Amino acid sequence: MWKERLIWAAIILAAAVLYFFDNGTITLAVLVSCTAAPLLSIASFALSGRKVNVAIRGGDAGGYHADERGGSVMLSISNGGFLPTGEVRVRLRSTNRRTGERSSEEISLTAPPRKTVTKEAGASYGHCGVYVFDIEEAVCFDPLYLVKRRAASSGETGITVMPERFPVLIDISGSSAVMFESDIYSTSKSGMDPGEVYGIREYVSGDPVKNMHWKLSEKTGHLLVKELGLPVTDQLVVMLDTASGKNARPEIMDAQAAVFRSIMSALKEDDIDHSICFNGEDDELIWRKITSEEDISAACEEFLRVPAKREPSCDFFGIMNARARFAHLIFIGTQVPDAVLSISSGCRVTALIAGGGDRSEGMVQMIGFDEKSYKTELAGMEV
């Protein structure tokens, strides 16, 4: 802007010198024109510059909306005055709430008097998540770039870029299959419900006498007791640990999100109703029941808003035990939590670990996957 001021000062000075030596009508007209042009530009800007407004909205839908590959936001600039202004420069900032990545884009537009112009922005995205757009700065110039002022700006909008979905064939193991047919009792842990017998074992001092299996004890010659069944309220739970881990990268977060979404879709296609849970922004454990594709989309939009943290700061598994009894847990994360063994004492656990290896420990089956080849590694799995 200082460059333009110096140029116009030099132009006016040259016109004045020319008029001084020539003292003619033409040189006078040149001097008047060179002096009037910047004055008119500044006067026009003084009247209309304060009436320039900049706003953003989420594409044609407005507000927050989801899309497989992202979408665009619409930047609108309106000039409410009767006189023209110069260029309006807007710095549009976008933040991925899940990965924390930030970027800025500078957009230039010119709004004619009493008109509103729009421009599309933010058409490509690097990773899945909720991208929040706001106006970092909006500056309006006069037509000759001699003066400027901040333009009024408003609005915040966002685009939810959904995780990729890939085909997954899930084979429910035998014990779990029985559990799905019964829809009542766990097959991996006893309980206190006399309506179902979980198993038979030898009597141990302190066992309730009412649980004695007298006929079988008489037949075998040993005191035997009945272990009672445990009704489950959530047969299968899919959990995403939104804590990123110490070495997590946006690519790993994308892979986790894609696995989470694809497993939900695969279970739904097999008509297996299930619940999902993930740690929320305020460290609360969020539960959702999945019975339709609409439920899956809503759940994805919800967990993609949660900023990833290096470490979880609440006792997820303690909360899960208190929240509901379930028979099978599919856990997706970057590391196996220390408390996973306490969960496995009451249900089957399949842990899908980004960057981990395959192994089994008790009722815990651990399956590792890579951020680049997870679609192949997890194309078929037994849980």
CB 241 within 8 Å of CB 334: yes
Residues 6+ apart with CB under 8 A from 341: 361, 362, 364
Give the ranges where the chain is alpha helix by DSSP (H): 2-22, 25-48, 174-182, 214-220, 250-269, 293-303, 316-323, 340-344, 374-377
C-alpha angle 358-363-365 in degrees, rounded to nearest 5? 15
Task: Please report the pLDDT score of residue 337 as a whole number.
Answer: 67
Measure the CA–CA gap between 264 and 193, rounded to whole angstroms.
31
More confident residue, 336 or 257: 257
Measure the CA–CA gap between 102 and 106, rounded to whole angstroms.
14
List of long-range contacts for 110-115, beta carbons under 8 Å, 24+ apart: 110/85, 110/86, 111/52, 111/77, 111/78, 111/79, 111/85, 112/79, 112/84, 113/48, 113/79, 113/81, 113/82, 113/83, 113/84, 114/79, 114/80, 114/81, 114/82, 115/78, 115/79
Give which of 209, 234, 207, 212 is closest to 348, Cα–Cα.
234
Cα 295–chain centre separation? 16
Q: 75-111: per-residue pLDDT in tens? A: 889 988 888 888 899 999 988 988 888 888 899 988 8
C-alpha angle 67-68-73 in degrees, rounded to nearest 5? 35
CB 214 within 8 Å of CB 203: no
Choice among 237-251, 270-284, 288-302 with the minimum mean pLDDT: 237-251
Mean pLDDT of 347-368: 78
CB 351 within 8 Å of CB 371: no
Measure the CA–CA gap between 79 and 110, rounded to whole angstroms.
9
Task: Please report the pLDDT score of residue 12 as a whole number.
Answer: 92
Mean pLDDT of 46-72: 67
How many other C-beta atoms lie within 10 A of the C-beta of residue 280?
15
How many other C-beta atoms lie within 10 A of the C-beta of residue 16?
14
Q: 187-219: per-residue pLDDT in tens? A: 545 555 555 666 788 888 878 877 787 888 888
Q: 294-336: per-residue pLDDT in tens? A: 999 899 989 998 887 766 545 556 555 545 556 788 888 887 7
Measure the CA–CA gap between 134 and 136, rounded to whole angstroms.
6
Which 3 state secondary structure label does DSSP give 219?
helix
Mean pLDDT of 3-9: 90
Measure the CA–CA gap between 224 and 88, rounded to whole angstroms.
85
Task: Please report the pLDDT score of residue 176 as a whole number.
Answer: 47
Task: Please report the pLDDT score of residue 226 as a whole number.
Answer: 77
